[in-house]
Structure 1
Amino acid sequence: MAELHTPVEAIKGRGAATRLAHRFSRDEREAFDDGWPDDAEEGAALPPRTEVIWETPKSAISHNDSPDIYFDRGLNPYRGCEHGCIYCYARPTHSYLNLSPGLDFETKIIAKRGIDAVLRKELARKAYEPRMLAIGTATDCYQPVERELRLTRSVLEVMDETNHPWSLVTKNSGVERDLDLIAPMAHRKLAAVYVTITTLDAEVTRQLEPRAAAPHRRLRTIRTLAEAGVPVGVSLAPQIPFITEDLEQVLEAAWDAGARIAFYHVLRLPWEVAPLFRQWLELHYPQRVDRVMARVQDMRGGKDYDADFATRMKGSGLWAELIGQRFRKAATRLGFNRERFEFDVSKFRPPALDGQASLF
């Protein structure tokens, strides 16, 4: 992959600073100053705007057999994510669309038109066996475009109609909008929500996850969900050395807000995420670049990333074990993970398709 030339300034409200060429590109273009004035007013380029690109999905449910993932099926209403989290492990998936894992990933959002209808057909198959369905496993299902597109809402309506169990992970307070669906399903042991809080430091969050909800707002979302009787967990993923250093404080705040389940992962830098993250460090924390990357490599056997199932989530080595010890001690002291939420799959009823009468 070509060497990055870091721009002078980061782009306000965006995680990536460039349209990094993806790994399938045959050539790479970069801007340079030729001495001529910019066409834009006062030479300032317009900030990139979010563009929604519609696609008609052939399937709604994706399957995986990864031994280090607790679910075997997931659903994503969107590809790409406007939150712009620089560390997002899903960024390289935009490469398969011939789009940049950098700015394109957070400005060109692929929305799956009619995903609720496709899901309904899959749930109606005679051979379908219900299991917990994880929603938003790659990109956040409550990213800003959901306010208008309401694709996640349409999926939850199908889940409610069929009594199908599900869980989701989000870092957006928009999940509160659908509490009228989520709370009743939670009471039927069909729903659980996890809220990601990487750090309580608002300034770090603004740079790390520029269009996600602020930490205090996510805590309020946890409280709102918990008070409505929804099982709520907190995700401390990813843990980034010398950037997110308040693990214990995050757990304490989440516990006080009502979360009772907690988990974490360490930073993952697959494919193009590694140069994008390094560029982000050079822009926002230039004095820490070498320290952060050295610690990351200490947890990855000397590499930026190791995809081995045994270590890709938690890392390996001394520093990875220290993070694990800190998490386990704090979680145990507070009372996290003492009880496991059990989903009730027995209530599932296949949906009635158009022109078919329900037998239930």
Structure 2
Amino acid sequence: MAEYTDRIETAIVSGDWTKVFQEASVWSQALARTGRRDPRAAFALNVVHLIRGEFAAAWKIHGEALQEPDDLAKVREWVDALASKHPDQGHSHLVMGLFLAQAGQSEQSVEHYKKAIALAPQSPYPHFFLAQIHQRAARPEMAIKAYREAVKLDPAYAPARTNLGVAYQAQDNLEMAIPQFREVIKLNPDDAVAHANLACALAEQGKQEPALKEYQEALRLNPNDAEVRFALGGIYETRNRMDLAVKEYEAAIQADHDFYPAHTALGWIAFNRGHKHEAMEAFNRALKINTEDASAYFGVGRVYAERGKGSLAMENFTRALKLEKNESKRSSIMSYLYSIGKTWDT
């Protein structure tokens, strides 16, 4: 296997990630033909997927490289040796950082990302992954600074632009988020996630028509995205197009039967139409999937209240209030309770 590791190491040190992927793929195929396995081949593929921003693919292969203790130890030995042989090469420290971050040692990875930045100052990747550590550690300003640096070094690096936009959006800075999402679409017009991100930001700005078009484009590119179906249903619902909202919520469930928010949304539409039995069934389906769905508990309580079953209604209202984290939604529940003359400390 030394021939494979040697070629992969050479490609890593030179920052030739296409070559890393090619060599790791050939190695993986050779292992599969002989019925053997080596977590280092999977880890090399994982690294390239992360650098490309292919996070689903990276996570899928993560289990083949870093899940079992023996695999973790073998990969650790390899990346340690790589860093020892090439202490002055930034890409070896980048790989070490990626290993540590995925091995439950995120803060320890920071030192290696910083070394990679110092040794490979033209590379956007260590800035990108350092930003992710800051973001997960609730250091948003530091994350934004690092993402901005990654974009500055490589304006065409779409994963950094995407995450920068998401970071701005998390701070309600939509004016800064939206241009990033638009740039990602220019770079990758067929990126369904980019269209969905832009749609979400536009919807938050109250620009429903442009948001609608972006959600529709996202679904053209990926028709089976339950979250986008649900979001589009929400747009239709705010426009009082309940027929179209129901269609999208049902499509979300068809794409992912366990997508409980769509069940809850259908429950509320049925309730508001006076279809109490249908509403109760939808709320209960949601609660079967997620026992902490506050909106579904509130819906069940409303149905019981309509049926004159006060104790059962209050039991579900209490659960809803205890579980609801959104202050606006909590206020709505409390307003309803005040309106029916029921108040208490929660």
Indicate the structure with greater helix content.
Answer: 2
* Structure ID, larger Rg: 2
Structure with a larger share of its residues in strand: 1
Q: What TM bracket, shorter-length normalisation?
A: under 0.3
Compute the TM-score of the two structures, normalised by the length of structure 1.
Answer: 0.26
| Greater relative contact order structure (CA < 8 Å, 6+ sep) | 1
